[in-house]
Structure 1
């Protein structure tokens, strides 16, 4: 059985045009769901938001802009270091606008995490358990 991969790191949440604030982020990868990576943003022991991202999209976002929907990723330079910019669009406000968050992570740290997931389940070797998925859907889970 392949091992679950976890990593905890500090990312930066953008506030306004230039301000950034640290946010503790837990990345996890479960080989039973081989196409997804979960990011859980927390503060004072409480989960503020949880997003499931496509593992391939996350890897692609390290080298080029990806995403046109609720999640958009792209690499950016910050001095000599490379960052991964993650933009998340959430639920609609009462005024019709949408919740919006931009988070930055060091690209190397995210890349290291992804390398660990690729050791657990190499790219293009992921298996989908369609029968298990259909059983869950039909059971109403």
Structure 2
């Protein structure tokens, strides 16, 4: 089975002071980093933002509020559409506020992507080669 899962979705981005606009979200999962999902948002060939999300938090966000700090997720409905609302807080501005954006994704598409990732690495079977990592870190300390 392929250890990589990739899905490209059209999502709706709402940045401060704007209405929703369509952008692409490239979601990727690599079994070598089993706890993370990478989300790259782009428009017209330009990367707008890239975030590493916790896979379990992404799954929890489909069922209820999840996340604290810079990333917050929760289910949302827009008419007949079931969406995942992803709120991202970015860098600090000189005035002390932070950049802020909200992305709305079609929840069934996110769920299908997650099901594919769980076929690659089932929940609870994630592992990180801690011994090899520590050996690499310690060998560089000499």
TM-score by length of 2: 0.90
Contact 1:2 1:121 in 2 (8 A): no
Alpha-carbon spacing, 1:97–1:7, altered in 2? closer, same or farther (3 Å) = same
Computing the radius of gyration over CA atoms, which structure comes out larger, 1 or 2?
Answer: 2
Alpha-carbon spacing, 1:46–1:134, altered in 2? closer, same or farther (3 Å) = farther
Structure-1 residue corresponding to 2:127: 127
Secondary structure in 1 matching 2:85: strand
TM-score by length of 1: 0.91
Contact 1:61 1:75 in 2 (8 A): yes
RMSD: 1.9
Query: Residues of 2 paired with 1:9 and 1:54: CA distance?
Result: 18
Alpha-carbon spacing, 1:43–1:123, altered in 2? closer, same or farther (3 Å) = same
Query: Residues of 2 paired with 1:44 and 1:81: CA distance?
Result: 25
Query: Residues of 2 paired with 1:44 and 1:114: CA distance?
Result: 26
Q: Which ranges of structure 1 fall in alignment gaps of 5 or more residues?
A: none
Q: Which ranges of structure 2 fall in alignment gaps of 5 or more residues?
A: none
Query: Residues of 2 paired with 1:75 and 1:104: CA distance?
Result: 9
